[in-house]
Structure 1
Amino acid sequence: MSQCCLQGFQWDGTPEGKESTLANNKAYVTGSNPDVAIMVIADLFGWTFINERLLSDHYAKEADATVFMPDFFGGDVIPSEIIRDNSRLREFDLSGFHKHNAKEIRWPELLSCVKALRSQYKRIGVLGYCYGGWSSFRLGSQSHSPPLVDCISAAHPTWLTEEEIDDIGVPVQILAPEVDPLFTPELKAYANSVIPTKSVPYDYQFFPGVEHSFATRGNPNDEKERRAMVRGKNAQVAWMREWLHG
């Protein structure tokens, strides 16, 4: 991860869900479908970040699902004020975050949360942003039998490896901004060459002129970014509806 994972804009609005738990993790929960669930894996700003709570509300309504956004960062919360003042980016210990939330540390929590959903809901989708990129792919791995989830969507994925791309086994969607030092042109090309050989439905959405984090922290007052955010949200809603309801 890099400093681009901390930049962006905070949106206005009032989330409509509630705080609860999933497995042993605190979670933001919104929606009331008894059969269909979506797990949102947040970016670095985590489960309390208003932007991603507002997005979760949209998914609950528009994709007709109960949406869970758990805390996968052990209670660590980045002050939202940092997003409004780039001069404060250095206040956040990014290397420490990497160490505390490494894949091997958080994977058991991701696994237990999805298993808890699978025990209660008939259909499960995963939406991952930034940090949620590698984890959504791993949850959608073909190594899980039966599958842990029914579909995934990853926006500007971080820490995603070629091996995790190789192992995908469920319908997969990627939202890829043009400018992204973490989901590089080389990794984009790899995904687009390998995933079509995996016999799984694949939807690659390319967003010219926008940067990493546009889907969760784009500027709503910039027409280019606003249109990209809306298009991204609509694409993810359509993907979830197709594979969780279709």
Structure 2
Amino acid sequence: MGDCCLKGFRWTAQPRGRETALANIPCYVTGSNAEVAILVIHDLFGWTFPNIRLLADHYAEEVDATVYVPDFFGGEVLPLDILQDKSRWGSLNLPAFLERNAKAVREPQIIECAVTLRAQYRRTGAIGYCFGGWGVFRLGAKGRNLVDCISTAHPSFLEKSEIESVNVPVQIMAPEFDPMFTDELKLFCNSVLPTLGVAYEYHYFPQLEHAFAVRGNPNDPAEMKGMRKAKDAAVVWFRQWLHDTNI
């Protein structure tokens, strides 16, 4: 994982939700729809990152859903001040952090949260940013029946086998410059997903970089426009697949 996963800017609004637990995991929850839920799998900055909570608030209000952001890093939180201090990026031992939060470690928790939501809600979806991208593909895999649709923006650690195994409607938000979601993976998704018999929606964001959809720079109009477009696309996607009773 490269520097692209560290840089970004916090936004200034205050999240409106509350902290609780989901499947015995600390969790931010927002919204009050008793029938529709969305699981958010966070990026490297974790479940307390204000931006991810603000996005959850948007989805709760604009999709009309109850939105959950569990802690999938076991209580560990990367320091937010690193976001705007590139000179400190080398102080993080990212390989060790990622080993502590490897797929084999976190997938059982992600699945447990999805199982809990599936038992409580009529329709459920999941969205993953960066680190969370592989997780939503695992939830949407054949034979699992854990979510009704998935969405991801600039996914990291996504493998071709995970792409090939998905069996629910898939939405991808892909920036032009992304060392994690490479041109090869973009091409693979656009070649394979249309052959799987599931709905597929691909949004390409030229001139934007990895992390734009959750850590957009408020001083960069193009980046903020892209972030808003990605959020709006996810809202339309979830409203379609979680509310449309004709599907």
> Is the structural similarity TM-score above 0.5?
yes
Residue 154 in structure 1 maps to residue 152 in structure 2:
yes
Contact 1:2 1:94 in 2 (8 A): no
How far 1:103 sits from its partner (Å)?
0.5
2:194 to 187, 193, 196: 196
Contact 1:133 1:154 in 2 (8 A): yes
Q: Which residue of 1 aligns with 2:6?
A: 6
Distance in structure 2 (CA, Å) of the matches to 1:180 and 1:221: 21
TM-score, length-normalised on structure 1? Answer: 0.98
Q: Which residue of 2 aligns with 1:238?
A: 236
Give the match's secondary structure for 1:14: coil
Give the match's secondary structure for 2:226: helix
- CA distances 1:48-90 after superposition (whole Å, capped 9, x unpaired): 0001100000000000000000000011101111112111112
Could you tell me which runs of 5 or more consecutive residues in structure 2 were left unpaired when the two chains were aligned. none
Distance in structure 1 (CA, Å) of the matches to 2:10 and 2:90: 18
Q: Which residue of 2 aligns with 1:48?
A: 48
Distance in structure 1 (CA, Å) of the matches to 2:148 and 2:91: 39
Q: 1:45-194, aligned counterparts within 5 Å?
A: 45-144=45-144, 147-194=145-192
1:216 to 206, 214, 217: 214
Distance in structure 2 (CA, Å) of the matches to 1:21 and 1:120: 14
Distance in structure 1 (CA, Å) of the matches to 2:141 and 2:38: 17
Contact 1:40 1:70 in 2 (8 A): yes
Aligned residue identity for 1:196: P
**Cα root mean square deviation, aligned:** 0.7
Aligned residue identity for 1:236: A
- CA distances 1:168-201 after superposition (whole Å, capped 9, x unpaired): 1000000000000010000000000000000100
Distance in structure 2 (CA, Å) of the matches to 1:133 and 1:224: 23
How far 1:91 sits from its partner (Å)?
2.2
Q: Which residue of 2 aligns with 1:225?
A: 223
Large movers: runs of 4+ above 4 Å: none
- CA distances 1:72-116 after superposition (whole Å, capped 9, x unpaired): 001110111111211111222110111101101111101110000
Distance in structure 2 (CA, Å) of the matches to 1:148 and 1:221: 39
Distance in structure 1 (CA, Å) of the matches to 2:153 and 2:143: 22
- Number of aligned residue pairs: 244
Distance in structure 1 (CA, Å) of the matches to 2:234 and 2:211: 15
Question: Percent identity of the aligned residues?
Answer: 56
Distance in structure 2 (CA, Å) of the matches to 1:26 and 1:154: 22
